[in-house]
């Protein structure tokens, strides 16, 4: 991690959390943020989903990202 903020967050997690907990880095957070916005945008414009449906989709993006974070680690 090059980003100073990301480095701090990542190190903190490593020292405090169990092995199953993924490290949080800025690159991953940025990638997930883009994906979340994309999901929100398509939910509104294409599927015209309700707030609840849209948030479920956002949750799925986050869950997938967390799971992937664990697998990568």
Partner 1 sequence: MILKWLRIKNFRPFFGEQQISFSEYEQRNVTLVHAENGVGKTSLLSAVLWCFYGRLVEGVEQPEDILNHEAAARGENEYEVSVRFSHEAKEYEAVRKGFDSTNRLQVLEVTGRGFIPVPHAENFINGVVPSSMAGYFFFHGEGNLGTKGKNIRGAVRDILGFGFAELAVDDLDNIIASVRRDVTKHAKGSSLIQINDEIERAEEKAKEEKMLRDRLIKENAQKEARKRDLQAALRAVDNLRELQETREKLQAERTRKKKELIESRREELEFINKFGWVIFGDMLQALESKYLDDPEVKGKFPSPYYETFIKDLLDQGTCICGEDLSSHPQKQANVRRLLASAGTSQLIDRVSGARSKVTEIRTMRAEAPDQWRKIRASVRRVENELVGIERQVDEAEEKIDSSDTDEVEQIEMELKELENRLFNIAVALPRCRAQITELEERKKSLEVKSRQASAKERELMQLRARQDFIESVRDQITGVLDTAEESAIAEIESRMQGLMESISRKDYTPTLDVEADALRMVSNSNIQVGASTGERLLLNFVFISTLIQICRERASDSSELLIPGAIAPFVIDAPFGELDDVYKTETAKFLPQRAQQVIVFLSTSHWKGRIEKELMPYIGTEYVLISRRRQPDDGKRQKDPIEIRGKTVEQSVYGCEVDMTEIMEVDW
User: Which residues here bind partner 1, judged by CB under 8 A?
Assistant: 9, 13, 16-18, 20-22, 24, 26, 29-30, 32-34, 36-38, 40-42, 44-46, 48, 51, 54-55, 58-59, 62, 65-66, 69
Burial class (CB in 10 A: 0-12, 13-18, 19+), 50: exposed
Nearest distance from residue 2's CB to partner 1, in Å?
Answer: 15
Nearest distance from residue 61's CB to partner 1, in Å?
Answer: 9
């Amino acid at each position: 991690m090059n980003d100073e903020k990301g480095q701090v967050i990542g190190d903190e997690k490593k020292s405090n959390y169990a092995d199953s907990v993924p490290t949080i880095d800025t690159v991953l957070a940025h990638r997930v943020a883009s994906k979340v916005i994309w999901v929100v945008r398509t939910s509104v414009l294409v599927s015209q989903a309700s707030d609840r449906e849209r948030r479920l989709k956002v949750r799925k993006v986050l869950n997938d990202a967390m799971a992937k974070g664990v697998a990568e680690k």
